Structure 1
């Protein structure tokens, strides 16, 4: 698969490394041409660099891996023509001080991205774990592969991202349409706050067999 990567930070590096190992072709776009070139070099011979718009138009899927304040600028630079019809993977987190979401109007980052990148098929994914988790080969704990919730409205886009999840050794989980992305974004803010506070959120959850009573 051909994958465009918008961003040169830790998430772009971690996920790009895994996808390069899986044999995908990558194009990296970033604000700094030097940083984009350095990341492409780390990713290996299947990676190259391009402008924001070139990376966005490069392949079937595009990873949006920039800080949430930079999202409008990056999407504008990429352009609607390049993003039209692409599977746009949103791994952003708009978590601010106090482990809360910056936007409290009920509109998720994924929905905001869909409003800007009209024509793109947005899927929320990969945002719920630190970049180092995605560097694991595979991300598995106690013998169980990590589950990755996906929110999106386009079945083909969800299937594409699901395949990329499996390339990491993880299992995709259907979390509903894009209107539910706000729920998983809020879940991530809650989890981060608990982890930073030294708690293990897994202790809050009963086994699936007891989810609706014993």
Structure 2
């Protein structure tokens, strides 16, 4: 696949590196040419501007910038994102591990509104960037599950393929309207992990017990 990454932070670097190793053609785009060059060199991808990366990502574009600036960047690049699968991995989490989007729409919905021609899928937002450096992310023999929220079937298929290529298992989280639940889950989990040092996996029982069996 041809993939563009918008952003040069930890998430963009981790996922771009994995996708390059999987054989995809990745362009790393950033506002700073110097930073984009560093990340491109580390990942094995190509360096580009944000506009060039958006244009390069004919199969998928990863939006990996701070949540407060994501809708504005999506609006700025909206003509280039028309018809593209736009993967939103942002987390609108502020002080006290609270959602900065409340009481309004989720970050994903705001991004979709800013670039109405893009096919937005919320994914990859529940894990620290360090997890995405693992090849593959398997814990106690169990592959990591990645929930996806989106409305476009073809875009969801693209992201499912990328998730599977990382050695993970894609889960259907529902339409984009449910992306706010994923963002709230991230805020809650980050608060447990970072705020209290809690192993959050322990809060959910195995499936047979969760279903009341």
Q: Is the 8 A contact 1:30 1:52 kept in 2?
A: yes
1:71 aligns with 2:40: no
TM-score (norm. length: structure 1): 0.95
Q: How many aligned residue pairs are there? A: 211
Deviation per CA, 1:22-58: give whole Å up to 9, x if none. 00001111010111111111222xx222222221121
Instruction: Tell me the equivalent position of 1:21.
Output: 21
Instruction: Tell me the equivalent position of 1:159.
Output: 157
Query: Where does the alignment leave 5 or more consecutive residues of structure 1 unmatched?
Result: none
Instruction: Tell me the equivalent position of 1:107.
Output: 105
Instruction: Tell me the equivalent position of 1:198.
Output: 197
Q: Is the 8 A contact 1:106 1:182 kept in 2?
A: no
Q: Distance in 2 between matches of 1:212 and 1:205?
A: 11
CA RMSD in angstroms comes to 1.1
Query: Where does the alignment leave 5 or more consecutive residues of structure 2 unmatched?
Result: none
Instruction: Tell me the equivalent position of 1:134.
Output: 132
Task: Output aligned runs, 1:43-192, within 5 Å.
Answer: 43-44=43-44, 47-58=45-56, 59-77=58-76, 79-192=77-190
1:136 positional shift: 0.5
Q: Is the 8 A contact 1:52 1:74 kept in 2?
A: no
Instruction: Tell me the equivalent position of 2:34.
Output: 34
Q: Distance in 2 between matches of 1:192 and 1:148?
A: 16
SS of the equivalent of 1:98 reads helix
Q: Which runs of 4+ in 1 moved over 4 A?
A: none
Q: Is the 8 A contact 2:17 2:43 kept in 1?
A: yes
Q: Distance in 2 between matches of 1:160 and 1:72?
A: 22
1:106 positional shift: 4.2
1:10 positional shift: 0.3
SS of the equivalent of 2:96 reads coil
TM-score (norm. length: structure 2): 0.96
SS of the equivalent of 2:211 reads coil
